Amino acid sequence: MDLTRQEFDDLRRYVYELCGLHIPDNKEYLIVQRLGPLLRSVGAESWSEFHDFLRRDDTSRMRNEIISAITTNETSFFRDRHPFDSFREHILPKLCKEVTSRQLRGDKRPVRIWSAAASTGQEALTLAMVILDHLEQHGGCGLRARDFSILATDISARALARAVAGDYSEFELSRGLPDYFRKYFERSGKRWRAGARLRDMVEYRQFNLVSDFDDLGRFEVIFCRNVLIYFDQETKRDLLNRFCSVLCPGGHLVLGSTESVYGLSEAFEQQRLGRAIWYRLREDAACSVFP
């Protein structure tokens, strides 16, 4: 079925309003290939009829279907490796000190880490494994797994349902997980399920990064990797500004290896920690949501 220029513009505007994803001019095939099955499933006879249907439809079911179809959920355990190495070597020891000094003050709040575009959960589970392993290697440092809390969010209900299940194929495990870390998974036939110790550290929630952050609380660390690339400059700028508002003073943000805050935000100081680039929230950063 032909997609006219007007229909392409209407549908990409709909997607943009829904989740901030910017579909560039030459990417008509994304609409055709990814939304085509949904068009057929509702019996629409043209793309404009489908667009009218979407604009009239006020159920979350179809919106969820569109989001799950249009988003790219590519991920893997220990993806790009370096951010996790430097998290273990440079960030985690500081977080351990932070929890310890909090506890000495009688403050039992855990350190909070946000995997902000978590897809099917591998990034959040990788963080949980690195933390558990660090605690085991260092005799617990007087700390327990529950002193760390990981929030894994994604806009895609389909991806998030897989993350919640924590159930992976041999292929998904072998795509990045060193054998050493298999001990944190339980084998069931040809599948591997994240063990209770990992699952207990992660809370899952469907969340649109283009919505407000008011009830998220604060985080010491935010992993937001490989999603900024799908947003336009305005959405990236706005998102980084809102990250500032939920990061603790001096908190750290890590982006995907092809992403950067350059030209988008002045609130972060770039740091090379090991072989990864991190963005540390400047002490004097003025962010708009929280004072």
Tokens 């351990």 belong to 96
Query: Counting contacts by CB under 6 A, is residue 155 touching ligand SAM?
Result: yes
Nearer to ligand SAM, 75 or 265 (CB): 75
Tokens 């978590």 belong to 118
Number of H helices and E strands in the chain, helices first, is 11, 10
Q: How far is the CB of 50 from ligand SAM (least distance, A)?
A: 21
Residues 168-207 that bind ligand SAM (CB under 6 A): none
Nearer to ligand SAM, 72 or 174 (CB): 72
Q: Virtual CA dihedral for 64, 210, 212, 109, nearest 10 degrees? A: 90
Rounded to a whole number of angstroms, the distance between the first and last alpha carbons of the chain is 51
CA 196, 200, 201, 203 torsion: positive or negative? Answer: positive
Q: Note whether 148 and 201 are within 8 A (CB).
A: yes
Q: Helix (H, G, I), strand (E, B), or coil: what is residue 35?
A: helix
Query: Counting contacts by CB under 6 A, is residue 208 touching ligand SAM?
Result: yes
Q: How far apart are CA 25 and CA 22, in angstroms?
A: 9
Nearer to ligand SAM, 137 or 169 (CB): 169
Nearer to ligand SAM, 119 or 149 (CB): 119
3-state helix, strand, coil in the chain (%, to 5): 45, 20, 35
Nearer to ligand SAM, 92 or 224 (CB): 224
Q: Virtual CA dihedral for 118, 124, 125, 126, nearest 10 degrees? A: 110
Nearer to ligand SAM, 14 or 143 (CB): 14
For ligand SAM, the binding residue among 154, 220, 238, 259 (CB under 6 A) is 154
Q: How far is the CB of 71 from ligand SAM (least distance, A)?
A: 3
Structure tokens at 83: 């951010």
Q: Spell out, one character per residue from 89 to 128, where the chain touches ligand SAM: x when CB under 6 A holds, - when not.
A: ----------------------------x-x---x-----
DSSP 2: -
Q: How far is the CB of 10 from ligand SAM (least distance, A)?
A: 20
For ligand SAM, the binding residue among 69, 209, 222, 253 (CB under 6 A) is 209
For ligand SAM, the binding residue among 8, 10, 15, 20 (CB under 6 A) is 20
Q: How far is the CB of 154 from ligand SAM (least distance, A)?
A: 5
Q: Helix (H, G, I), strand (E, B), or coil: what is residue 242?
A: helix
Q: Note whether 152 and 202 are within 8 A (CB).
A: yes
Q: How far is the CB of 152 from ligand SAM (least distance, A)?
A: 10
Residues 40-79 that bind ligand SAM (CB under 6 A): 71-75, 79
- The phi and psi torsions of 112 (rounded to 5 degrees) equal -115, 130
Q: How far is the CB of 19 from ligand SAM (least distance, A)?
A: 4
Structure tokens at 40: 């057929």
Query: Counting contacts by CB under 6 A, is residue 267 touching ligand SAM?
Result: no
Residues 232-261 that bind ligand SAM (CB under 6 A): 256
Query: Which residues of this chain interact with ligand SAM, rule CB under 6 A?
Result: 19-21, 71-75, 79, 117, 119, 123, 154-156, 159, 208-210, 225-227, 230, 256
